[in-house]
Structure 1
Amino acid sequence: MKTTARTLMAAGMAAAMTLSGTMAFAADGLPNVTILATGGTIAGTGATSTTTVGYTAAKVGVEKLIEAVPELKKVANVKGEQVFQIASENMTNDHWLKLAKRVNELLAQKDVDGIVITHGTDTIEETAYFLNLTVKSTKPVVIVGAMRPSTAISADGPVNLYNAVTLAGSKDAVGKGVLVALNDQINAGRDVSKTNTSTADTFRTPELGFLGYMQDNRPHFYRQVVRKHTAEAEFDISGLDSLPQVDIVYGYANNNRTALDALVKAGAKGIVHAGVGNGSLSNAMKPGLIEARKQGVAIVRSSRVGNGIVARNGEANDDELDFVASDSLNPQKARILLMLALTKTTDAKAIQKMFYTY
């Protein structure tokens, strides 16, 4: 985008206030975007240019990622920071707390207009939802990754990073919550899921749809985020050093309660049951969940299906059992909301309200 257009954008943004302060572009008219690197395939390397599986993730540092896309200088004043360097299957609650706190610190600064987080694709959807509930600003936060390592033919990391920085510096992304941007597509952090093991178009929101697309060096939005998030969310992790233990139990034919009982014995404060269909409970699993709830463990019924609403009092009498229905959250995202909910309350009715709010 030309400098004149950036200047006009800056003028339009000068009055835009967030809970973290005024958004202010630099003197050159470009937004100030900080890239927080966490590792993943976007920072991965392979043995050859045709190695797209069996590569090593999280090898390239943030400065080299930035140097590989010199076009970034045309769309933003970019700074890089290596928060950690891991493959995203190794993401933990401790990583999330550290990342969220750093994002909030940066967004509270007047000279930071947006954040881009480079991340492994395996758990992008979980990190995105956690930040969607814990970031305390309306400034853009965009999570980006890649499906091919940096050394591969047609590596998708550079263009994904360019689009993410452009998006994070755009006034159009303000107030839309945490966004996931890959493959020229923009998804909401709450709704997006990885849907394919290896293809570049893996991130989708199958039923609700993309929020928009990246085209012509700018975002085009077609859908709004309606659930509360970021600056409107009630969760405060600023004083937390840990999160309650919440685990997932998977539903399947011929299942049993062995794993459930082991998790409860190991100290789980909450259990998300990834049930079949509409969150159904088998005769073998249901008694264990009932016993766990009587012991004070919060129980959320979700579904392994991946789409649709888990109806309250549908496949189980949630009112009678004091269970929570996950609404449209998949099991891994229901776990995140339940963890944060348990930092505030253990009351199932109050937690159910949160699932209908976020």
Structure 2
Amino acid sequence: MSKKYIRVALDAMGGDLAPAEPVKAAVEALEKRKILHMTLVGKEEVIRAELEKYQYPEDRLEILDAREVIEMAESPVNAIRKKKDSSIVKGLRLVKEGTCDAFVTAGSTGATLAGGQLLVGRIRGIERPPLAPLLPTAKGPVLLVDCGANVDARASQLVQFAQMGSIYMKNMTGIENPRVALVNIGAEEEKGNALVKEVFPLLKACEGINFIGNIEAREIPEGAADVVVCDAFVGNVILKLYEGLATMLLKKIKAALMSTIPSKIGALLIKPALKGLLKEFNITSYGGAPMLGLRGLVVKTHGNSEAVEIRNAIEQCIQFKKKDINGQFVAQMGLGAQKEKALKDPAQESTAQEEKGSF
């Protein structure tokens, strides 16, 4: 395979709408991006049956047969170790081996997080890789880091989250000096639990980031920061509330507009403006949540992802590779002397982690 391609593996069996939506996303992404090579991972006969619906460049699409699927209810670590023929494990191994640059899945979040660390491995010097989705705000997207990977994070890890988040936003969105804020129950430095009290002065003293202080959750939708830092417990609550509130509001707006004849007429008049607003706040337009700090890129999309979200996640992978985000992490976080070992020897650290059975 030519080295000119950016190589992305996609879990064709992961998620509620697999294999139809992942396969559709792969075909659409290949049509849009000539630099892309896709590997669909899953049951070969199922994938081929789905591909019969489409025309696609056969020289840029491969299938890797995987006979097992990790279910949502399974223990993540046990599933990664026992189901070696699963689409998630095989997809992650493609990244570990350097065959693919990135892996995208709508499958089990727990298995993806565990497998990312056990199989792909961390960049040397990174303590914990966070899960970092983009969320819509009134002033553009905000990066929420961490939203699900590290429930019991330490202060030093939150500092690294802030550093990686700042580098990611600067390079991926073009924000020159991203505003970094720490989620807390008030703006004052002395407020909060032991963790946020410990991390505040560390972020304040951290060079290379534009730390603007504490932020309350209500300020996030207003766009008060570009990078929002917290442990995964807090981050996941924010994420789920964000998604649930958005769904509820959309239902209420639709019901109100359809409730009477005058309101239906009004709905027709405001339809163009409303359509634009809904598009702006559509979370699927941002793709998935990357695990930052791994030696290769792993992106987790929603379990009910349709083709558009998966396709946008694939585009994330392309931009991540083109802009060498991992290289930026190493260069800007004081890991430069170890760059070659950190990024080009994925087997060493991940094997050690497997032996320890740790994250």
Instruction: Give the TM-score of the pair, scaled to structure 1.
Output: 0.32
Q: Return the structure number with greater strand share.
A: 1
Higher relative contact order (CA 8 A, sep 6+): 2
Q: Return the structure number with greater helix share.
A: 2
Instruction: Give the TM-score of the pair, scaled to structure 2.
Output: 0.32
